Amino acid sequence: MREDLSWTYTLAGSMNTFNAVGYLIGALITPYLLRRWGAVLVLIAGSFMASMLMALTGFFSETLVLLLQRLLAGGVSAAVFVSGGLLAARLGAHVPSQSGLMLGLYYGGTGWGIALSAVLVPATLLAANEQALVHPWVWAWWGLALACFIMTLVLLVVRSPMKRWTAELKLSETKDAIPKGQASHMHWPDWIFGLAGYGLFGVGYIGYMTFVVAVLREQGASAAEITLFYALLGLAVLASARVWAGLLNRYRGGQSLSILNALLSLATVIPVITSSWPMMLVSGVLFGGVFLSVVASTTAMVKHNLVPSQWAAGISVFTVVFAVGQIIGPTMVGWIADGPGGLQRGLLFSAAALLVGAVLAWQQKPVLSV
């Protein structure tokens, strides 16, 4: 799209920035939606709207319309992420020994989407090029939207069991005693280091995800190599659920967030210091094996430190900070990439943000009960 529509890196990054602005708005609204309609309905409705907005991307090429589309898609995506994370946290609370794994499975499920995208996008682009379309990338968006609609139908099929066990878990929560050491309110100043570390994760990771394919193209990678890179990244996301489950269960403070941010910084800096194809694969696999576990680590931190009635509020506050970071990251990296040093210098900025985030997150202590 960037090449076809003659976008600068700054404008390309702005597409993700607008998505992040929508994500911020969605994160602010989602607690109300959860109170009004419940997590299951919010999850399904958000998934349907996100799928529809993805399909609409293929019908427009005007910059302002696409920016609006990204804004709206970000809003509904936040609703999906928060509601699904809340459901996973509630389920994990009743199987404590497996709670880290359940959170990892939920957030790591994105790896299926990444791996599927790695297959669908090249296939649809090839088919579109054979038809000599003016904008062949529109078929890629439609193919991805179709996949999302199918997955939304799966959610519709299982909505009754989800509602049933959610109701059972809520009933159980009212009967269970509050675990010792959990705070009864989300007092955000107590979480300042964790929130800062997570915000810098939002700044840093999104630059890599926005521009890593452009880096590979600059390095001369073929379409098949890019497909392999993205597929391996997605498969690494899937594997991350089991790799980091123990870490998420072990720490109540910001240690998990810190360790994962540091590893993500290492993955992001690799393309800055080398263009070696094997090392680029290492970068992709390491990045995929870590980045959504960072999200899971904040949900785990909320679970460890807050009573169940405050989980939605806690997850939403972390999501808001994450969204602010995502707003800054893509445009900043794009602006840097348009100047001397190109994309490598932009990724260096991302790696630095992640490293600072790791240092700050390490300072986050468990929140005392209030």
Residue 226: CATH number of its domain: 1.20.1250.20
pLDDT for position 352:
94
Report yes or no on 3 lying in a domain: no
Report yes or no on 179 lying in a domain: no
pLDDT for position 234:
87
What is the Cα–Cα distance from 96 to 98, expressed in whole angstroms? 5
* Residue pointed to by tokens 């609006």: 68
What is the Cα–Cα distance from 300 to 89, expressed in whole angstroms? 8
> DSSP assignment, residue 184?
S
What is the Cα–Cα distance from 82 to 101, expressed in whole angstroms? 18
What is the Cα–Cα distance from 276 to 281, expressed in whole angstroms? 9
pLDDT for position 85:
83
Helix 223-243 and helix 99-108: axis angle, to 10°?
Answer: 160
Report yes or no on 201 lying in a domain: yes
What is the Cα–Cα distance from 7 to 12, expressed in whole angstroms? 6
pLDDT for position 48:
96
- Whether the CB-CB separation of 310 and 184 falls below 8 Å is answered with yes
Full-model pTM: 0.77
Report yes or no on 245 lying in a domain: yes
341-346, long-range: CB within 8 Å, 24+ apart, which pairs?
342/218, 343/9, 343/211, 343/214, 343/215, 343/218, 343/271, 344/215, 344/271, 344/272, 345/272, 346/9, 346/207, 346/211
Report yes or no on 313 lying in a domain: yes
What is the domain extent for residue 325?
Answer: 9-168+188-362
> What count of Cα atoms within 13 Å lies in the side-chain half-sphere of residue 31?
14
pLDDT for position 341:
74
Number of domains in the chain: 1
Splitting the chain (370 residues) into consecutive groups of 10 residues, what average pLDDT does each group show?
86 85 89 89 95 92 92 93 84 72 79 86 87 84 94 91 71 52 69 94 88 88 89 88 84 93 95 92 94 88 84 84 85 82 86 96 80
Report yes or no on 302 lying in a domain: yes
Report yes or no on 367 lying in a domain: no
Q: CA distances (Å), 171 to each of 46, 90, 165, in order?
A: 25, 12, 10
> What count of Cα atoms within 13 Å lies in the side-chain half-sphere of residue 114?
26
The sign one gets for the Cα dihedral 355, 353, 78, 211 is negative
What is the Cα–Cα distance from 251 to 365, expressed in whole angstroms? 10
Report yes or no on 344 lying in a domain: yes
